Amino acid sequence: MNPRLLPLYATIAIFLVACVICYIQFPYMLSTRVLGNLLTDNAYLGIVAVGMTVVILSGGIDLSVGSVIAFSGVFIAVMLRDTGLPAPVVFVLLLIVTTAFGAAMGGLIHGLAMPPFIVTLAGMFLARGAAYMLTIDSVPIDDPFYEMLRKAYYLMPGKGRLTLIGVVMLLSFAVGMVIAHRTRFGASVYALGGGENTARLMGVQVGRTTVGIYAFSGFMAGLSGIVFSVYTGSGYPLATVGTELTAIAAVVIGGTLLTGGSGFVFGTFIGVMTMGLIQTYIVFDGTLSSWWTKIVIGGLLLLFIVLQKGLLRLTSARFSGGLA
């Protein structure tokens, strides 16, 4: 068996076990209604986690995404309020802005040879500050187009609502999987994660790929911002503080190595769903406090990291055994 697939299998196994535990305690939890809510509530997180997966696969990190989501919401709300532009035009403008923002960060990371951690930290300050400069209030969005987006859903059997934003998340994961596993760009990303020098020797255009990776993450953060503004119906500069860390946690729980070069976009989907399931379980239980979510997620993080560590040791032992 391919040892690289083991973390993914472990992720899926833990998710299934969690589902079974939930089902035994609360049989109603496995309904399409809960499933629909799970997809809707975690839509923005899932979308941004797709971008984060690609960044982490390349061995980088993007701390700016939470701020970019907040900026997107504020940008949309203020543009719709102050200019007469129709919502789709605002969406396109926003996606151009966030993609360019991501590309600029990628350019800095490559051009200055600085760690992504610090560059995207500056990006985090900048995006949050830009959101503050647009407004410091929560701005409601009342646009007929928005009403339509929010009310758009497909009624699944069992009265579960598959909302539009849930579908957008599923599509993002599909697109992310194609990009990461089926394109030249995706192969370059994995190569970069394996090591920059080896990637360069293999003929990967490091600069172009780095810019592309962070531009993709910026685009996904912008898309996530749109989805989040549809979900909340407003723009608020203090929203989604810390989402970048939740996204990173989802990626790690999804079995992707934080050192880069190994992991799957599909794993991140399971990671997001696992975290959503924990939250749903706590809501169903009713007696557990919400802070248990954080502790359980921290515990899961530890479990996965130790598991991966063990697997790495196992595979490297196998390789050295093969050489001897």
Partner 1 sequence: MQTLRRLAPQIVTLLAVCLLVTLFFPGFLDISMSGGRLVGPVIDILKRSAPVALLAIGMTLVIATRGIDLSVGTVIAICGAVAAWAIAGGMGLWAAVALAIGAGLLAGLWNGVLVAVIGIQPIVATLILMTAGRGIAQLITEGRILTFTDPGFAWFGSGTLFGMPVPAVIWIVTGVVMAQLMRRTALGLLVEAIGINRRASALAGVNALVLLIAVYMASGLCAALAGIITAADIRGADANNAGLWLELDAILAVVIGGNSLLGGRFSIAAALLGALIIQTIDTGILLAGFPSEYNLVIKAGLVVIILVLQSPRLATEWYFWRRSVREGPPPATTKEHAR
Angle, vertex CA 307, rays to CA 273 and CA 47, nearest 5: 25
Site string for partner 1, 58-87 (x = CB under 8 A): ---x--------------------------
C-alpha span between 71 and 224 (Å, rounded)? 11
126 is a site residue for partner 1 (CB under 8 A)? yes
114 is a site residue for partner 1 (CB under 8 A)? yes
Q: Alpha-carbon dihedral of residues 110, 112, 113, 118, nearest 10 degrees?
A: -100
Size of the site for partner 1 (CB under 8 A): 43
> What does DSSP say about strands 234-235 and 139-140: parallel, antiparallel, or unpaired?
antiparallel
Site for partner 1 in 240-299 (CB under 8 A): 241, 245, 248-249, 252, 258-259, 289, 291-295, 297-299
Residues whose CB is less than 8 angstroms from the CB of residue 82 and which lie 6 or more positions away in sequence, other chains included: none
Taking CB under 8 A as the binding criterion, the range among 199-207, 210-218, 266-274, 303-311 that sits at the site for partner 1 is 303-311
Q: 234: part of which helix (H) or strand (E)?
A: strand 234-235
Q: Which residues pair with 163 in a beta bridge?
A: 153
Taking CB under 8 A as the binding criterion, the range among 23-31, 197-205, 223-231, 302-310 that sits at the site for partner 1 is 302-310
Taking CB under 8 A as the binding criterion, the range among 3-11, 166-174, 208-216, 304-312 that sits at the site for partner 1 is 304-312
Give the shortest CB-289-to-partner 1 separation in angstroms. 6
**Greatest distance between any 2 Cα atoms in the chain:** 71
C-alpha span between 47 and 50 (Å, rounded)? 5
Give the shortest CB-295-to-partner 1 separation in angstroms. 4
Q: Which residues bind partner 1 (CB under 8 A)?
A: 61, 108, 111-115, 117-119, 121-126, 128-130, 132-133, 136, 241, 245, 248-249, 252, 258-259, 289, 291-295, 297-299, 301-302, 305-306, 309
